Structures are given as structure tokens and as C-alpha cells.
């Protein structure tokens, strides 16, 4: 199957999911309608808009006939899938920062990135950003070491 068809099918899926996400906010109870619903609507609108833009770009460039070869990417895909499942399983027990501190460099290595200094800087930057924005600024309680 050519990449352009996979790309377009996924973009149509994202557009449908964005619409469903937006519509789901109508059933939010009480105070959530005036707080959380705005954030979810914001995400839905921007996911939908970006997906439509990308779909239009894909339709305008109708010259890509290269085939999608899943077999050569399957080990990386399975490695990402397994690491994501493990991240989800240990997230509650080890907490976000320890789990993410292991997960981010692991994903970089699975994807074949070998510049270790950049991996370390990226991991630390993401963790510091999440800490400052979500823990300090927004007072979100992320799971910690239990």
C-alpha cells in the first residue's frame, strides 16, 4: 500500500476523532463544562485543523508512489510498543519522572539515535519543563515513587 493512502487514512481518522472529542464535551458534568471542556475543545479544534491542513497538503502533492515497507521498520515499531506498555505499567509505581527518565532515552536508542549528549540534554530538558510547567505552575499532582 502506498504511503500516501496510509497517510490520508490516518488523517481522516484524526479528523473524525477530533470531531468526536469535541462533541464529547457536551456530556461533561457540572463544573467540568466550564473548565476541562474548554481545554478538550481547544485540543480537538487544533487537532482537527492541523489534520485538515495536512490532508490538503497530501492531496495537493499527489505524486508520492513509494510503498510503505513495514517489514524493515517492524523491530523498531515493536520495540516502541513494548517500551510504551512497560512505561504505562511502571508509571504508577515508579512515578512520572523516573519512568520518563528511563523511557525517553530508551525510545531515542530504539529509534537509532546515538548522540548520547543530545539524548541526555533532551531528557533532562523535558523533565525540567514538565516539572516547572505542570508541578510548579499548574500544581498538577504527578504520580511519584510509591
Q: Region 31-57: what's the mean pLDDT?
A: 86
Q: What is the mean pLDDT of the chain?
A: 86
Local structure of residue 63 (DSSP, 8 states): T
For residue 104, pLDDT over 70 is answered with yes
The Cα–Cα gap between 44 and 38 comes to 10
> Do residues 91 and 64 make contact, with C-beta atoms less than 8 angstroms apart?
no
The Cα–Cα gap between 141 and 111 comes to 31
* pLDDT for the residue 17: 95
pTM: 0.59
Which residue in this structure is represented by grid cell 456530556?
27
For residue 136, pLDDT over 70 is answered with yes
Positive or negative: CA dihedral 132, 137, 143, 146: positive
The Cα–Cα gap between 54 and 49 comes to 9
* pLDDT tens sequence across 3-13: 778 888 999 99
The Cα–Cα gap between 59 and 51 comes to 12
Amino acid at each position: 500500500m502506498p504511503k500516501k493512502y496510509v497517510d490520508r487514512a490516518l488523517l481522516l481518522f484524526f479528523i473524525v476523532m477530533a470531531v468526536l472529542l469535541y462533541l464529547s464535551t457536551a456530556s461533561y458534568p457540572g463544573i467540568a463544562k466550564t473548565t476541562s471542556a474548554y481545554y478538550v475543545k481547544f485540543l480537538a479544534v487544533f487537532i482537527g485543523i492541523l489534520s485538515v491542513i495536512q490532508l490538503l497538503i497530501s492531496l495537493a502533492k499527489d505524486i508520492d508512489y513509494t510503498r510503505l515497507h513495514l517489514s524493515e521498520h517492524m523491530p523498531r515499531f515493536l520495540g516502541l510498543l513494548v517500551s510504551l506498555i512497560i512505561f504505562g505499567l511502571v508509571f504508577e509505581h515508579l512515578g512520572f519522572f523516573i519512568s520518563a527518565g528511563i523511557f525517553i532515552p530508551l525510545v531515542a536508542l530504539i529509534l537509532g539515535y546515538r548522540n548520547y549528549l543530545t539524548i541526555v540534554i533532551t531528557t533532562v530538558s523535558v523533565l525540567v519543563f514538565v516539572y516547572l510547567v505542570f508541578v510548579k505552575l499548574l500544581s498538577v499532582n504527578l504520580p511519584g515513587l510509591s
